[in-house]
Structure 1
Amino acid sequence: MKNIILYYNSLSLLKKNLLVPLIGIISILPFYFFILSNTMNMNSNMQEINLELIHLNECTFNNISILEKILNQLNSAVAAKELEWVANSEAHANEIKSNLQKHLQTDYGDDIKKVLDSFLDYYAFAKSVSTKLINSNYSYENISEDTELLVKKYNNIYEMFNALRLNIKDKIAQNMNSIYENSNSIISNGSYIFILWFSISISVTFFISRDFKFRINQIVQETREIASGDADFNKRLCIVSYDELGDVTKSINLFINKLHQEHEELVKAKKELKSLYVLDSLTKLYNRVKIDEIIDTELQRINRYTNNSVFSIILIDIDHFKSINDTYGHLAGDSVLEEFALILKNNARATDYVGRWGGEEFIIICVETDTHGSMAVAEKLRTAIDKFDFTTVGHKTASFGVASSTKGIDAKTILDNADKALYKAKNSGRNQVVNYSELP
């Protein structure tokens, strides 16, 4: 019996139907061509998914990820006042442009053309605004209007990418439904032949029908889950035969494998994007966005409780940093920033938040730390920097401004206090720590 089942599973759909001994040639041929036609339609739909839609779907995911990289790169360029970084984003923009142009000849050519035009318009405007921000030191006429328009353009292109992705998903769902309809058509429209068969022929046909239906329903259930976005990536269809439905099953498993891979890549990309959102790309310290969030959290905490909660802020500026870029070049300047950040991380406390405030300025948030404790932290860092031998430039120093929170203080005030203390330190000879509370 086992050998019979293995032989049956090795047969094609045509040969399985030929097992019915009492079906005449006239009845057999129409039934065969009917099944063959529907099977070809199913294979055609699967080929469209594998050859076009998967690549287009992958391209859309990649473009969304690259768009986020462009945004972060331009933001970093503005924060660091580096025009060269703005130009560096051109490579990512060209990658998106190339990805879209590859698919202009597909069924989605018109939609892709609109997305491409909108992206080029957004990117050109984003470069222009970033350049003006850097050149004007964050202040020029119509900055508010330009910023608002830039956000609208970004949101628009982001929504267009998502809309294109949803259209592709709908097309996949349509192809899967077509497979479902063709498969059911094989069963429903072919059932009328059953009445022509003798008892044994009907028994054999019933067995074949149940086999088809079981595997087709398995395919339909799995494809519906894929179309709805609920696919179990740890599950694969069981291939029990080598006929056309077995080929369809193999194609679906290949599609699930591809989706699984894309899902893993997307999860990885999300983690990287999350890291880019909170970390400075050069120093790997917290960026200004994250530091602002931490300060707001600390202010809410000390204003919520009636106990003596306190935190302190240390602003740090590398002394005579401009001379490094002028003398050794920007690459040497970047190297100093990286080494400087490493000194701060290695010598700050585990509970401190270390970030890059902008350019050669850094910031440390000392939670649950009063003026005395934060001054000790700052002095330890100053000493470590003073003793360090930087690559290429050798000895460098830094100036420190310290300010502590008080009940009811806001973010702007405590940052201004720390900045005033830093200003005093720089104007009093540099390479020293100044506490705001000690200023006259």
Structure 2
Amino acid sequence: MNGKLFMKKIKKLLFYYNSLSILKKFLLAPIFGLLLVIPFYFFIFFIMLEMKQSVNIANSALIPLNEASQNNILLLEKITNDINSAVSAKEIEWISASDKNADKIRENLNKYINSNYKKEITQSITAFENYYKRAKDVSIKIIQNSYHYQNIENDTKILVQNYNKVDKLFNDLKFLTKENIEKNINSLYNEANIILLYGSFIFFIWFFISSIIIFLVYKDLKYKIQRIIDDSNEIAYGDVNFEKRLKIVSYDELGQIVRSINIFINKLHKSHEKLTKAKEKLDKLYIIDRLTNVYNRVKIDEIIEIELKRKRRYDHTFSVILIDIDYFKLVNDTHGHLIGDLILKEFSQILKDNIRDTDFLGRWGGEEFIIICTQTDQKGTFALAENLRREIEKFDFTTVGKITASFGIYECRDEDNENSVIENADKALYQAKRDGRNKVVCYNQ
């Protein structure tokens, strides 16, 4: 009975909670925040543990550097002793015995070159290299000159100065790391005291600010919901930007709405991409000759129309080359249509490889091809056609061997239309065939 009464009270509280507005729901947070006073101090305790862990991590990098600095001081003394021993024994070969300790110093310094002490370590490396090089050079000179040469006093003085500088830099780095280790430890206790001192004040400030923040969050949510509605309306009316996605990050009901809309946009985007690709494929099939993969007659007619309009408006000249493969019917009759198709592919490839980027190549029909030469007069077009004729003439076609082609050229005039352009180019082509084929003929009215 008591269990049923308890469940009844729970259901009543849930019903009351669901009947509240969003703002009132949010204002419940500061009230329940009063219950967080005790957990707040536990939170401070865990923060202190994290701070201590952070200090330990920092010291884990400082302590090895401090130890390396102490080790470098000892290694520096060993190097000095090794060089002094070589000088005392007058054995130049013994000097190289110090290289092992010098390499250890370099290794210790370079290991921490990318730490927060890069400047100090770089100075130490430079000073050490200067000292070590001079120490070896001076020692060799002393041995070779039996302890006497003109600048021995000056060299020795500079060497001692270099040694003292290196020793000071090594000791400074050791004391600097040691000092920072102590600072890190002391900072832990100082920050803990500050947290404990101001902890109570933070709670009351939090309670006041939380009410303001919750109100602002409510306004922000209202704005985001309105944005979702606006974007949804854009989708509904077909004015959607397929690159756009809702960027609201949330894990409540609002987040579910956002994810659903984004999924919907993604599906629309994919469908749109499929339709676009299908349209591009259809457009390509509409304007491209399937055998030779050059423009077909539909596209060429469109290009000629455009070029005529440009000529009338901007006075941009253009020319047309009409090309016909000589005796192509004989190829089909002798070798079959499959070989004939292969010859057409090879022939079109020669044309594509030798025209300019600004030219348009198309298959006019059967074994006839056409080239639209933009902003090119008859002279320039003739040079292009003659080059194409030579390339075709020297090419060794599959099975057939050598074949030739005839060319008819026409430079467009102001009074021309689509039909007259082709008709005049065709007249020139006919003249080229009548003159014996394998020729380039320009239309001459």
TM-score, with length taken from structure 2: 0.47
Higher relative contact order (CA 8 A, sep 6+): 1
Structure number with greater Rg is: 2
